[in-house]
Structure 1
Amino acid sequence: MYVELVDETGKLPAEIMKQTEELLAFAAQKLQLKEATEMAVTFVDNARSHELNLEYRQTDRPTDVISLEYKPDDSEFFFDEEMEVPEELLAEMDPFIGELFISIDKAAEQAADYGHSIEREYGWLAVHGFLHINGYDHYTPEEEAEMFGLQEEILTAYGLTR
């Protein structure tokens, strides 16, 4: 999997960028995503997170991670309007699955609040957002159990334990 990483803050350690790339590739293997899959991760500060949260979620505060799932739109391609295009074909033609915005300020706050390493917090946020853009959610107790169970399984297998 290809992950485009951007640090808008200029403050993120190179080790966290490397960890994020490796962890998301590991998670992609766990979900058996195609090798050609692509996504983007942008590290932002709380001010930018607040702007994005307001724009995309109509929530007037900063947040730790924003996940924007990308769904291919067949109108971009040259298909006959009457033709039904299988979603698998669209995914092959456009392997971009989405993007994450991770607040470095929130990551630092939460690592301190939860008493674990900053590496663990960045890993948690990256995998959490990654699972969201791959269709997982936590609106019901069943969804939460599935998503958080898989999230912990990925983090533990990668070596980011509490």
Structure 2
Amino acid sequence: MDITMLDETETLQDSEMQDVEKLLDFAADYLKLPEDTEMSVTMMDNAAIHEINRTYRQIDRPTDVISFALEEETDDEPPIIFDEEMEISQLPRNLGDIMISLDKAHEQAEEYGHSFHRELGFLALHGFLHINGYDHMTLEDEKEMFSLQKEILDAYGLKR
């Protein structure tokens, strides 16, 4: 899996960024995603994620994680049409983008009584599942997503 990792805050250590990348690679293998799958993860502060939340979700406050799934279709977007000679299978699968507030990750780690490392991994995996089509808008969907989330975190060894 090709993961572009960015830290806009320039506060994370390389090992912390690598830990997130390893967890997401593990999750991609767990979901049996193709090797050429791509995505990005951007670490930011509350101010930056607040602006994104306000602009794209019309929610005027910071949040912990926001995901933008590229494979998600909306009514107001035109379909992508490929040239007949171009094989779609030749293109890598790009899942989308995940943005994580490091400020929120620190706050929530303290609030929930576990490490920052665990909270950061949890948020990254939560966003990853969203860009893979999982959601928690209904009780049934929530049960499916949250149990898969726990299953992957437990299998990886990142427990509370």
**TM-score, with length taken from structure 2:** 0.90
Distance 1:42 1:91 in 2: 27
CA contact (8 A) 2:135 2:142 kept: yes
Distance 2:90 2:140 in 1: 30
CA contact (8 A) 1:74 1:90 kept: no
User: Is 2:76 the partner of 1:78?
Assistant: no
Distance 1:153 1:98 in 2: 23
CA contact (8 A) 1:46 1:62 kept: yes
Distance 1:127 1:90 in 2: 27
What are the superposed Cα offsets for residues 63-103 of structure 1, whole Å, 9 maximum, x if unpaired?
A: 0000000028533x2249xxxxxxxx646524211010000
Aligned to 1:107: 105
Aligned to 1:123: 121
SS of the aligned residue for 2:11 comes to coil
Aligned to 2:146: 148
CA contact (8 A) 2:36 2:92 kept: no
Instruction: Determine what percentage of the aligned residue pairs are the same residue.
Output: 54
Contiguous gaps of at least 5 residues in structure 2: 73-78
Distance 2:44 2:12 in 1: 9
Aligned to 2:27: 27
Aligned to 1:85: none
User: Is 2:73 the partner of 1:53?
Assistant: no
Aligned to 1:62: 62
Aligned to 2:156: 158
**TM-score, with length taken from structure 1:** 0.89
Distance 1:71 1:137 in 2: 14
Give the 3 Å change call, closer, same or farther, for CA 117–69 of structure 1 in structure 2: same
Contiguous gaps of at least 5 residues in structure 1: 81-88
Give aligned pairs, total.
154
SS of the aligned residue for 2:32 comes to coil
**Root mean square deviation of aligned Cα:** 1.8
Distance 2:139 2:119 in 1: 23
The farther-off stretch of 93-102 and 132-141 is: 93-102
